[in-house]
Amino acid sequence: MSREHIGHGDIVRFAQERVNLPKEKADEYRNQAAGLRDRLESYLKEHPDFTLKKMLLSGSLAKGTALRSLNDIDVTCYISGADAPSDIRALLEYLAERLRSAYPNFKPEQVKPQTYSVTVSFLGSGLDVDVVPILYDGDPDWFGNLVSQENGSLLKTNIPYHLAFIRKRKTSQVTDFAQVARLVKFWVRNEKQKNEQFRFKSFMVELVLAHLSDQGMDLSDYPEALQHVFTYIAKSNMQQRIVFEDYYKASAVGAFTEPVQIIDPVNEKNNAGKLYTVAHADAIVNAALDAGDAIDAAWSAPTKQETIRYWQKVFGPTFQA
Ligand SMILES: Nc1ncnc2c1ncn2[C@@H]1O[C@H](COP(=O)(O)OP(=O)(O)OP(=O)(O)O)[C@@H](O)[C@H]1O
Ligand SMILES: [Mg+2]
């Protein structure tokens, strides 16, 4: 393998300059979410029967896997299930109305129900906060029914356990797990720009990577790690079941009929890949084959310019070295 033109260090630099959300931005957005959470906590002290029970930063900002292109701050809001409407539109109206009462400083139009979440927009700087409801019956471990952002269905899951699950993999391969996750997400983003049918949800990317990491894949050399991830995707055809044993035994997982089976690490009945068809899986596999070929070609390209051109097949035209 020739690393003459582009090596690990070049990918590190590319990641820092183009892929990763800069730390100051991440801190700023986390503070924004913390402000909302703190305000809800003090409101709850004065109104203990209030039905919004907790807010938790939940997406890539919480996991440390956010891309520079981040466009909203994901927060889950635990809603006491007893008197919350079950109809999704009514539930979102209900959530918006409760948020408006907890945050009287916001103008009503700053709190807007969307299809499967409620956005809270800040005037001036900052990003919108996307508040995703989770119906909650008081479980001490914070299990609840999350409103799927894909189709509005209810998924029994546990956000704090998801965060702990990812944290465990980040601890076993410090810096590298999160960095390779962001690089693969950046590849996905580039594929989506070329083909709007392409889908490969961040949560699934992270679970695939967690599976490989648990099997002993070393992620410390980024060109090699990417090559290994693409090879796994191509070989598995995205149709190899992935199961984790952090929170239940593999034997507890029942039969699924969907082609893509990446089972939620905290709920053995929830297949995170359930909405993916064979066509979706094939598109991921074909893109991974192309990306793997491009990295191979980059390794043997005679000039730097050509090497860059091959890496641009993986990461798009912003790849420069
Ligand atoms: N199918 C699912 N089943 C259970 N929980 C899910 C599912 N999809 C998403 N989640 C929860 O929502 C969180 C955020 O979703 P996801 O990982 O796809 O977005 P993200 O990390 O914010 O990435 P992006 O950078 O694309 O916004 C996940 O970490 C997980 O806790
Ligand atoms: Mg997100």
Q: How far is CA 132 from CA 164, 276, 299, in A?
A: 19, 22, 44
**287 pLDDT above the threshold of 90:** yes
Note the pLDDT tens digit of each residue in 191-214: 999 999 999 999 999 999 999 999
What does the pLDDT read at residue 123?
Answer: 84
End-to-end CA distance of the chain: 18
CA separation for the pair 188, 184 (Å, rounded)? 6
Distance (Å, whole) CA 272 – CA 206: 11
How do beta strands 111-113 and 118-120 pair? antiparallel
Distance CA 194, CA 316 (A): 9
Question: Exposure of 148 by Cβ count < 10 A (0-12 exposed, 13-18 middle, 19+ buried)?
Answer: middle
The residues that bridge with 221 in the sheet, in sequence order, are none
Query: For residue 27, what pLDDT is reported?
Result: 96
| Beta strands 154-157 and 129-136, pairing class | unpaired
Distance from residue 202's CA to the centre of ligand 1 (Å): 6
**What pLDDT is attached to residue 129?**
98
Q: How confident is the model at residue 321 (pLDDT cuts 50, 70, 90)?
A: confident
Q: How far is CA 215 from CA 172, 210, 232, 266, 294, in A?
A: 12, 9, 12, 19, 25
pLDDT of the residue at 81: 84
- pLDDT winner (highest mean) among 78-87, 121-130, 190-199: 190-199
Which pLDDT band holds residue 2 (cuts at 50, 70, 90)? low
Residue nearest to atom 27 of ligand 1 (CA): 60
User: Cβ(201) to ligand 1 under 6 A?
Assistant: yes
What is the rounded CA–CA span in Å between residue 56 and residue 164?
A: 13
Distance 179 CA to ligand 1 centre (A): 17
Confidence class for position 3, pLDDT limits 50, 70, 90: confident
Give the residue whose CA is nearest to atom 8 of ligand 1: 203
How many angstroms is it from 18 CA to the middle of ligand 1? 22
Q: For residue 124, what pLDDT band results from cuts at 50, 70 and 90?
A: confident
The residue-averaged pLDDT of 134-163 equals 97
Predicted confidence (pLDDT) per residue in 167-187, tens digit: 999 999 999 999 999 999 999
CA 143 to CA 156: how far, in whole Å?
Answer: 7
Positive/negative CA dihedral, 196, 201, 206, 209:
negative
| Side-chain half-sphere CA neighbours of 225 within 13 A | 26
**pLDDT tens digits for range 245-268:** 999 999 999 999 999 999 999 999
Report the nearest-CA residue for atom 14 of ligand 1. Answer: 59
d(CA 253, CA 11): 38
Atom of ligand 1 nearest to the CA of 61: 22
Tokens of residue 284, six digits: 């991921």
Residue 218's CB is within 10 A of a number of other CB atoms, namely 12
CA distance 291 to 132: 34
DSSP letter assigned to residue 262: B
| Ligand in nearest proximity to the CA of 69 | 1
Categorize the per-residue pLDDT at 60 as very low, low, confident or very high, splitting at 50, 70 and 90: very high
265 within ligand 1 shell (Cβ under 6 A):
no
Which numbered atom of ligand 1 lies nearest the CA of 273?
A: 1
Q: Does the CB atom of residue 238 touch ligand 1 within 6 A?
A: no
Q: Is residue 288 very low, low, confident or very high in pLDDT (cuts 50, 70, 90)?
A: very high
